[in-house]
Amino acid sequence: MANLFNRERRHFEAFIRRHRPSLLAVARRLCARGGLDPEDLVQEAFERALPEYEHLKDRTDPAAAAWLCTTMTNRFLDYCRRQRTENRGLPHLALVQDSMVSLDAPQESWELVSNDAFHAAIERLKPHLRDAYRLHAEGRRYQAIAEHFNVPVGTVGSWLTLARRDLKELLQPSVAVAQERGVLS
Amino acid sequence: MNANCTKLHLFIDGELGDAEAEAFRSHLPRCPACEEGLKDLLQLEMLAARALGGAALEAEAAAPAPAPAPEKPDTKVVPLRPWARRAYQAVIPLAMAACLSAIFVYRQAPADVPGVVFLEDMGTRGLEERLSHPRADHWRPYGPMRGSESSVEALPLRPLADLEEREDLRGVAAAYLLRGDLRQAEAFLEREKPSADRDNDLAVVALKQRSLTQALELLNRALRAEPRHPQALWNRGLVLRELDLLDRAADSFEQVAQLGEQGWSQEARQEAERLRGLYGKASK
């Protein structure tokens, strides 16, 4: 029994090790201006993952990452709802109820996008959008990216918005191919 | 749609001022379009962080990093918040309960072990082999250390003593192994409880000592216990390569590549391709 505990624990630790850095990178920006502690947000996502781990561990890494991201986003939205109702002094059960993410519900199409497909899409962006998005993904702030390109900060915001729009369009075919191959099944 | 809706990207990127961010958080629950947009964009950001998140992830790696979870109850583990305790008492299967403290150990990772112990300040890694300790297993390009690099020489003893005190013997062994002190590393690993991680690290010692058969036996034992053990698969690839079993070495690296670990996966794929090429030439 002790071995079983240790094995499960080690697997779950490895699961946290694989996903925590990227989840935390997203959470840190999301919570950069107050609200929640990003570490708390990530921790709560893993707390939610634990009872589901029997099912999650059989999923591909992109699928597990998509599930964790949806769970974390829902926790953040729950927090925003709570804060809003508290600020108004109006407890509202429907609004403050925790959102749970069913494992049966597809996490949109994101779980079908592999790292390779994402890299390929990035390569097809216009050069200035691609370079700006890369810097952003590496954790640079708008100001630093603006200085890198010697453009106004507002331009960086526009470039990133365009990069994301184009990325979503470029990723659609790879999602369609993955669906065709029956990855969902 | 109102003025807040135009700020979704800025909010996600943490580029709004405090007051604007608070206004946006208040706006979010009232705006289904922004909620959907937020979910969508965060998934894209998650993909980007996984695929490209170099600096951000390195920053994370440089932050107080997770220590391996001790097997005994840890007094530093924070208690669950009451709502969580109630929920988990009801739903957590017994075997999974053992994992709970892992979450909190990660959250509460001791901050007092400086990165220099695990040479985290180096831009490259000095060991081609992989160690099981998470602090010693952050991917960086492989590049043999130069003797002039100071942190290779200096082994800070106080943090090492702290590691030993909390029975993190693999951590102590990793610190020695990273500096090429095989005897000390082996001595600490001998005291560690049997596990796939311990076998992996002992195999690294054996590989360094050119005891290839012994290394392979240790790694095979580790992989029988944990078939997807990333470090053992990687090191098995190295041993098989040294034994000139290039095709089987490539298989092992390909298995690592499929695990999708940041950095390691790409390097494993490249090495598998290189070995396949060599094998093809050799077999002609």
ipTM (interface predicted TM): 0.85
Q: Per the structure, how many domains does chain B have?
A: 3
pLDDT higher than 70, residue A55: yes
Q: Do A54 and B96 touch (CB under 8 A)?
A: yes
> Chain-wide mean pLDDT for chain A?
79
Residue A111's Cβ-side half-sphere holds a number of Cα atoms within 13 Å equal to: 22
* Chain A interface disruption, residue of B6, B26, B27, B47, most A CBs within 10 A: B47
* Chain B interface disruption, residue of A1, A4, A9, A54, most B CBs within 10 A: A9
List where CATH 1.10.10.10 sits in chain A: 113-185
Helices in chain B by DSSP H: which ranges? 8-12, 18-27, 32-52, 54-62, 82-91, 94-107, 150-153, 157-165, 169-178, 182-191, 196-208, 212-225, 230-242, 246-257, 264-283
Q: Which of B39, B54, B262 sits opposite A73 (nearest CB)?
A: B39
Tell me: do B95 and B170 sit in the same domain.
no
Which residue from A minimizes the CA distance to B230? A14
In this prediction, the residues of chain B whose per-residue pLDDT falls under 70 are 1, 53-112, 145-158, 165, 284
Which residue from A minimizes the CA distance to B10? A157
Contact, B216 vs B241, CB < 8 A?
A: no
| CB proximity B224 to A under 8 Å | no
| CB proximity B36 to A under 8 Å | no
Q: Do B95 and A43 touch (CB under 8 A)?
A: no
Tell me: do B103 and B121 sit in the same domain.
no
Tell me: do B135 and B227 sit in the same domain.
yes
Distance CA B206, CA A114 (A): 36
Contact, B43 vs A110, CB < 8 A?
A: yes
Q: How far is B284 from chain A (nearest CA, A)?
A: 32
Distance CA B104, CA B87 (A): 16
Distance CA B191, CA A54 (A): 32
| Segment (H or E) for B67 | none
| CB proximity A110 to B under 8 Å | yes
Tell me: do B85 and B124 sit in the same domain.
no
Q: Give chain B positions within 8 Å (CB) of A107.
A: 43
Q: Give chain A positions within 8 Å (CB) of B12.
A: 29-30
Tell me: do B82 and B183 sit in the same domain.
no
The per-residue pLDDT for range A104-135, each reduced to its tens digit, is 554 456 777 888 888 889 999 999 999 999 98
B142: β partners: B125
Tokens 């150990």 correspond to B105
Distance CA A83, CA A93 (A): 13
Q: What is the pLDDT of residue A105?
A: 52
Domain A113-185 part of CATH 3.40.30.10: no
Tell me: do B88 and B197 sit in the same domain.
no
pLDDT > 90 fraction of chain A, expressed in percent and rounded? 16
Which residue from A minimizes the CA distance to B53? A138
Contact, B178 vs B142, CB < 8 A?
A: no
Cβ-based neighbours of A154, under 8 Å, separated by 6 or more: none
Q: What is the pLDDT of residue A100?
A: 52
Cβ-based neighbours of A105, under 8 Å, separated by 6 or more: none
Distance CA A59, CA B237 (A): 25
Average pLDDT over residues A3-11: 67
Least confident of A39-53, A171-185, B193-207, B250-264: A171-185
Q: Do B51 and A119 touch (CB under 8 A)?
A: yes
pLDDT higher than 70, residue A9: yes
Q: What's the domain range around B233?
A: 117-283
Tell me: do B104 and B130 sit in the same domain.
no
Q: Assess if residue B60 is contained within a domain.
A: no
> Tell me, what CATH number does B144's domain have?
1.25.40.10
Tell me: do B123 and B211 sit in the same domain.
yes
Q: What is the pLDDT of residue A185?
A: 43
Q: Which of B43, B134, B196 sits opposite A110 (nearest CB)?
A: B43
Distance CA B70, CA B78 (A): 14
Q: Assess if residue B243 is contained within a domain.
A: yes
Return the amino acid letter for A92: H
Residue A123 Cα distances to A65, A109, A119, A166, angstroms: 22, 20, 6, 11
Tell me: do B20 and B85 sit in the same domain.
no
DSSP one-letter code for B137: -
b/e map of B171-194 (b: 16 or more CB within 10 Å)? bbbbbbbbbeebebbbebbeebee
Q: Give chain A positions within 8 Å (CB) of B14.
A: 28-33, 141
Average pLDDT over residues A17-30: 88
Average pLDDT over residues A57-86: 86
Give the alpha-carbon dihedral of A37, A39, A45, A51, to 10 degrees. -120
Q: Assess if residue B200 is contained within a domain.
A: yes
